[in-house]
């Protein structure tokens, strides 16, 4: 009787702990499909698409609200940003993004959105509480990459044609410094402690490590893959782990993700993924990095601990970006 009681108690503890752990591991990946005019929703437990959401024309930049209630997706050809309810998977509103929105960034408190208007050489500032545009900041030609410093004081916008990273004072809403970069800079990401800014350059084939304090490039990382010409190696997306240990640089038509040491900036290895890998996102626990492969119409799932690609999931036509939320 005692043994049976102990067994039942242990079973109940195991069951309760399993049930308690499940929600923390249950995530949904929202994938923008640029030519599919849709967002695919992938359950990261089953690694299957559970919903396809029609959006409008040319969805690209995508991110979740800070409270997890919404997913925002930039509709470049509709000149707006759609607001998707993360539970119902329905579009519940739109934001006045300015002309041809591509990428955007949220302030750390989630109160404001900063949108790169590719055809307008400008950044639109949106107040998310009122859903109104409250400012516009002139920048270089073809702005794209957007990142906000952890202290919320500085916004960085990269301009592809001007080949610069523009440092913007958030309070003044004005450019206060420019950093010249290798050709066609795309994405930008701060380390979580604000010590470094990483910017990819697609045509320049490089990753620039910038000191945000001095606003100077302190190191340039080049990529070399046996069997591939330099022109095929085109850095686009970049994701850095919260502890700063690893950075993942998505190399476009090279069909690889470069793993970069966060301290030494050495390239540790290249992970083979799908065709034309573009942008990605971590699951909140950083167990996985999920990246969008534009020409193979799938996403690749990278196990961050083992630095291995463990799964491919078919999504919509020409996936572009990924945003991940708890279920």
Percent of the chain with pLDDT over 70: 93
What is the rounded (10 degree) CA torsion for 140, 229, 293, 64?
Answer: -30
**Maximum separation of any 2 CA atoms in the chain, in Å:** 78
Q: What is the mean pLDDT of residues 277-292?
A: 98
- Nearest Cα to Cα of residue 237 among 161, 182, 186: 186
Residue 212's contacts (CB-CB under 8 Å, 6 or more residues apart) are 149, 154, 167, 190, 194, 195, 196, 197
Give pLDDT tens digits for 166-177.
Answer: 999 999 999 999
Banded model confidence at residue 1, pLDDT cuts 50, 70, 90: very low
CB burial class (10 A; 0-12, 13-18, 19+) of residue 74?
A: buried
Least confident of 1-10, 24-33, 117-126, 183-192: 1-10
pTM comes to: 0.92
Contact 104, 96 (CB under 8 A): no
DSSP 47: T
DSSP string, 102-115: EEEEE-TTSSEEEE
Residue 327's Cβ-side half-sphere holds a number of Cα atoms within 13 Å equal to 15
Contact 177, 216 (CB under 8 A): no
Least confident of 17-21, 221-225, 238-242: 17-21
DSSP string, 90-106: -EEEEE---SSEEEEEE
> What pLDDT is stored for residue 8 in this prediction?
40
Give pLDDT tens digits for 65-103.
Answer: 999 999 999 999 999 999 999 999 999 999 999 999 999
DSSP, collapsed to helix, strand or coil, labels residue 181 as: coil
């Amino acid at each position: 009787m005692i043994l049976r009681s102990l067994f039942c108690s242990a079973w109940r503890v195991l069951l309760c702990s399993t049930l308690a752990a499940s929600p923390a591991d249950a995530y949904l990946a929202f994938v923008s499909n640029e030519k599919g005019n849709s967002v695919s929703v992938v359950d990261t437990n089953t690694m299957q698409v559970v919903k396809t959401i029609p959006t409008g024309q040319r969805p690209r930049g995508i991110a979740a609200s800070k409270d997890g209630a919404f997913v925002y997706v930039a509709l470049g050809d509709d000149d707006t940003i759609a607001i998707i309810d993360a539970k119902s998977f329905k579009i519940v509103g739109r934001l006045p993004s300015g002309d041809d929105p591509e990428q955007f960034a949220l302030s750390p408190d989630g109160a404001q959105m900063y949108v790169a208007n590719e055809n307008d050489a400008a950044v639109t500032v949106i107040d998310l509480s009122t859903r109104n545009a409250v400012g516009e900041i002139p920048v270089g030609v073809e702005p794209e990459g957007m990142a906000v410093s952890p202290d919320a004081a500085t916004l960085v916008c990269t301009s592809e044609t001007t080949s610069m990273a523009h440092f913007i004072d958030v309070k003044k809403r004005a450019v206060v410094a420019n950093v010249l970069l290798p050709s066609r800079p795309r994405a930008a990401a701060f380390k979580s402690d604000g010590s470094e800014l990483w910017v990819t350059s697609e045509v320049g084939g490089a990753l620039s490590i910038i000191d945000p304090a001095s606003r100077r490039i302190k190191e340039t990382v080049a990529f070399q893959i046996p069997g591939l010409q330099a022109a095929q190696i085109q850095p686009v997306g970049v994701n850095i782990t919260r502890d700063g240990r690893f950075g993942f640089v998505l190399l476009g038509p090279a069909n690889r993700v470069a793993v970069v040491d966060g301290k030494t900036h050495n390239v540790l290895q290249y992970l083979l993924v799908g065709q034309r890998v573009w942008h990605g996102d971590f699951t909140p626990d950083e167990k996985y990095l999920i990246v969008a492969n534009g020409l193979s119409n799938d996403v690749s799932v990278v196990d961050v601990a083992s630095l291995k690609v463990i799964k491919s999931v078919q999504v919509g036509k020409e996936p572009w970006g990924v945003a991940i939320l708890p279920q």
